[in-house]
Amino acid sequence: MTPRPNRRSTAVRIGAIALATLVADAGTKVMAVGLGSVHSGLGFVLPIQNPDLSLGLAPGSVPSMLAASALGILIFGSYTAWSATRGAISSWIPGLLVGGGLGNLVDRLLFGAVHDWLDLGKVVVNLADLAILAGLAGFLVSLAVGRSRTGETP
Amino acid sequence: MKTLYRVATRTLLVVLPVLYVVVATAGTGHP
């Protein structure tokens, strides 16, 4: 059994990863807009402003989307951060989930839409989306591993 | 009661992440 991590150092790690994700996401969005305005020849850079939630699955007004995003970050971010301080999951998981969520929330707050730029063929996403999906994958794997080890949820 | 609690907890653990992805990500279908 691994020793329980120090709560404070775990919280600092989560905050640092979230901040790094937020800064990296904002930086790549600015770079993508710059690259998109000149003919760069980079086929995977396609700057688009997306006013909807994930793939337009739940369209709504900007205030309702801002509220839903903020509530989601607060509830799921708090839960995963709490799980990390208990040692049930790694601290990078809430770090990526919260950092990615904040990246898109800040975009919606400032521009009323999210800047997507990374062309993956069928969809165009951004670094925040990838961070959230990586965090989600980590969370689900931790859940499955925790269950198979103890028969309990993390 | 304990079984109900477990089922509710596990359901939440699946529903919450999916809801989070919907409200937190953007993503655009290719134009």
Contact of A144 with chain B, judged by CB distance below 8 Å, is answered with no
Say whether pLDDT at A18 is over 90: yes
Q: What is the pLDDT of residue A40?
A: 57
Distances (CA, A) of A24 to A42, A43, A115, A119, A125: 19, 21, 13, 17, 14
CB distance B26–A104 less than 8 Å? yes
Q: What is the pTM of this model?
A: 0.85
Provide the pLDDT confidence category of residue A84 given band limits of 50, 70 and 90.
very high
Contact of A27 with chain B, judged by CB distance below 8 Å, is answered with no
The domain ranges of chain A are 7-150
ipTM above 0.85, yes or no: no
